[in-house]
Amino acid sequence: MPEESPRIQYLSGKFGALILDSHALHGDETVVICREGLLEIVRSLKEDPQMDFDFLADITAVDYLGKKEPRFEAVYHLLSLQSHRRIRVKVPVPEDQPEVDSLTPLWKGANWLEREVWDMFGIRFRGHPDLRRILLYEEFRGYPLRKDYPVNQRQPLIPERPLAGTFVDTRSDNKLLQLKQKAEHKP
């Protein structure tokens, strides 16, 4: 077990029970925190001169379906422009209530990143000013980066025309297409 970094020690001293876990695997300092404490802890990471993580590098999520409980994890990567240190903040998010606080009050850049997580994982961000899909279209159903979203699922906005003599994906487990074909066979 490697020695804990002074920053993680400082954080666990300050927030105690809100910090669930911490590690520095491969040199990436990581804290796992309660989702109730997200805004408070990240604000302190940003504004506390001892931490000074003033740059939000990335927001993403991971779906640990069947591997971990709770199912989702929101992942934040912060950077200090002064010392060039990085820290990763992970927040477990349960499946039945996929919701975390938005970081848009702290960084405007969180806006698009959180919209992408909402789009791909269906995790809601409380307090987000404009939580809409970003890469996909509004009519899209489901969240494609969830592990239970089928890879071959197609959701065309305009019905696809079957073209005779061209490539047809027979492996497709496309439920929509199958349903449509069934409906067509029925007189």
Partner 1 sequence: MKPEPKELPIEPMDLQMGPSHPATHGTIKFNLKLEGEKVLACETEVGYLHRGFDKMSEQATWTQVIPYTDRLNYVSPLINNVGYALAVEKLLGVETPPRCQFIRTIMSEISRVTDHLTCCGMAASELGAITAGFYMIEARELLMRIIEAVTGARLTISYVRIGGLKHDLTPNFAEQVAQAFRKVRQLLSDCDKLLSRNRIFIDRMSNVGVISRETAIDYGLTGPILRSTGVNYDVRKANPYLIYDRLEFTVPLGTQGDNYDRFICRIQEIEQSMKIVEQALKNLPPGPISLDDPRVVLPEKEKVYNSIEGLMHHFKIIMEGIQVPPGEVYFPVEGGNGELGFYIVSQGGGKPYRVRVRPPCFIAMGAFHEMIKGYMLADIVPTFGMINMIGGECDR
Residues in contact with partner 1 by the rule CB under 8 A: 25-26, 28, 30, 54-58, 60, 62-63, 67, 75, 77, 81, 84, 86, 88, 107-109, 111-113, 116, 120, 134-137, 144-145, 149, 151
Longest Cα separation, the chain: 72
Nearest to partner 1 of 14, 77 (CB atom): 77
User: Please, what is the minimum distance in Å from the beta carbon of residue 11 to partner 1?
Assistant: 18
Cα dist. 10→18, 19, 45, 61, 148 in Å? 13, 11, 11, 26, 39
What tokens were used for 187? 């007189």
- How far apart are alpha carbons 11 and 38 in whole angstroms? 12
Candidates 63, 81, 98, 77; CA nearest to 31 is: 77
User: Please, what is the minimum distance in Å from the beta carbon of residue 145 to partner 1?
Assistant: 6
User: Please, what is the minimum distance in Å from the beta carbon of residue 140 to partner 1?
Assistant: 10
Element (H, E) at 183: helix 175-185
Nearest to partner 1 of 26, 161 (CB atom): 26
User: Please, what is the minimum distance in Å from the beta carbon of residue 148 to partner 1?
Assistant: 12
